[in-house]
Amino acid sequence: MSRAKSALLRRDILQFHYAINTGLTIRVHPHLFRHTSATLFLEQGGEIRHLAKILGHADLRMVMRYTHLSNKSIKVQHEKFSPLNHIVGKLNKDRIVTR
């Protein structure tokens, strides 16, 4: 086995060991943290252009590959910007009845 393959194998074993000890049930790797951090940055209100600088990317398309939409963020955006919610909100306001 080559030295490089041996080093990769040791790294994979260590990552697996740390993941098991922390109770994680998914495959853990360094880019997982990079992807997760980028997604959380945007979900918490960070600007995508600032994130591009932080990640060291000049092209926003590359940043888009790093970020993932969570179901929570999709639901929040839908509730905030859905035209249907905007219309229904106007229909549900208190009415003045004159009789």
Tell me if the pTM is above 0.85: no
Q: 38 is written with which tokens?
A: 């980028």
pLDDT at 5: 60
98 within some domain? no
26 in Cβ contact with 11 (< 8 Å): no
Amino acid at 94: D
Give me the number of domains the chain comprises.
1
Identify the residue with better confidence: 21 or 74: 74
d(CA 28, CA 15): 6
* Structural domain of 51: 3-91
40 within some domain? yes
Amino acid at 69: L
97 within some domain? no
96 within some domain? no
Amino acid at 43: E
Q: 30 is written with which tokens?
A: 């360094």
Give pLDDT tens digits for 2-15.
665 666 677 777 77
99 within some domain? no
